[in-house]
């Protein structure tokens, strides 16, 4: 009985020894994983505080945040005591970043819509000037509108080209009217010059005393 007992105890002790080594290794691995996750959490926290004002910056930061997410997935488990808090910290910062990004684009959309409405008003003014009787004043006002147009921020992407083409067409109409009037004036001047030249030529060729000019 003693022999059997010792044999059983030796087998049990061997199992417990292996289990102890396994748990020690697992604890060490958990601790190593925790350090890696804490490093990622620290990096991600900086992104959660990010407040950019350019689309390119948000796009770049988004790619970096998603890269951290992929790195996070590659890290193994941590102890049960730490798992909940580390997950909460990481995904909390992750959500904060993308919530801030969502707010940025929402505000951007609102600002671009305001810009669009303002550009619509410019179009209406330019279109009215195209029908103005005081063309010189209209040209000055169109030039002023063009300068102010450049100060307005971008309109929504889908409407940007459409509103620009409308404004350009209205401005071109004003300048085209001016060019048309100038062309007609040049033609009249040319016709008048030709008439005078022919008259002078006729007078030069006439016999003395033929034309009695008082």
What's the pLDDT at 27?
82
Which phi and psi angles does 50 have, rounded to 5°? -70, 135
pTM: 0.67
Which residue, among 78, 85, 72, has the nearest Cα to 28 in the 3D structure? 78
Q: What is the pLDDT of residue 143?
A: 93
Query: Mean pLDDT, consecutive 10-residue segments, the chain of 214 residues?
Result: 80 75 74 94 94 93 96 92 94 96 95 96 93 85 94 93 95 81 53 58 58 49
pLDDT at position 214, please?
46
Residue 152, Cβ neighbours under 10 Å: how many?
A: 13
């Amino acid at each position: 009985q003693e022999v059997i007992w010792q044999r059983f105890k030796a087998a049990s002790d061997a199992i417990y020894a292996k289990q102890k080594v396994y748990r020690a290794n697992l604890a060490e691995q958990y601790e190593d994983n925790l350090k890696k996750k804490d490093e990622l959490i620290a990096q991600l926290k900086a992104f959660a505080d990010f407040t950019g004002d350019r689309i390119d910056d948000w796009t770049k930061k988004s790619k970096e945040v998603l890269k951290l997410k992929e790195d996070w997935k590659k890290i193994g488990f941590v102890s049960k005591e730490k798992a909940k808090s580390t997950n909460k910290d990481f995904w909390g910062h992750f959500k904060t970043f993308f919530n801030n990004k969502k707010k940025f684009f929402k505000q951007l959309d609102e600002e671009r819509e305001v810009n669009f409405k303002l550009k619509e008003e410019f179009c209406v003014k330019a279109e009215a000037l195209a029908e103005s009787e005081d063309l010189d004043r209209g040209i000055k006002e169109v030039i002023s509108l063009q300068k102010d147009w450049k100060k307005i921020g971008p309109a929504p992407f889908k409407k940007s080209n459409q509103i620009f083409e409308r404004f350009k067409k209205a401005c071109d109409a004003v300048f085209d009217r001016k060019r048309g009037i100038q062309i007609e004036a040049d033609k009249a001047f040319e016709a008048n010059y030709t008439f005078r030249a022919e008259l002078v030529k006729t007078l030069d060729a006439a016999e003395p005393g033929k034309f009695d000019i008082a």
